[in-house]
Amino acid sequence: MEIINDSEKKVLLEYPCNWCYKVVATEEKALRQAITDVIDEREHTLEHSKKSKNGKYVSMNLDILVHNEDDRTFIFDALKKHQAVKMVL
């Protein structure tokens, strides 16, 4: 459930909750390995999202249960810092 705090314009989440990251890289194999490197063997779903028009980039949706704000931001930051990943949304 999402609750919007009007005074700060911030979305407040109730944890644990499912979270979806869109992860972009240049190669699918490297992208899959980056996700494995970050989340190890945690249960997750990984689905194709899009491929850029010229095929230079591939994106996938990573759905995973996050336990708290620190867990959610850790995954985001670790994916963003991985050398194979170009962008995380």
What domains sit in the chain, N to C, each tagged with a CATH number?
18-88 (3.30.70.260)
**Closest by CA position to 64, among listed 44, 81, 82:** 44
Q: Over the stretch 15-44, which tens digit does the pLDDT of each residue have?
A: 999 999 999 999 999 999 999 999 999 999
pLDDT value of position 53: 82
49 — pLDDT class (breaks 50, 70, 90): very high
Question: In this model, does residue 3 exceed pLDDT 80?
Answer: no
User: How much is the pLDDT for 12?
Assistant: 82
Question: Which position has the higher pLDDT, 7 or 77?
Answer: 77
Residue 89, pLDDT above cutoff 80:
yes
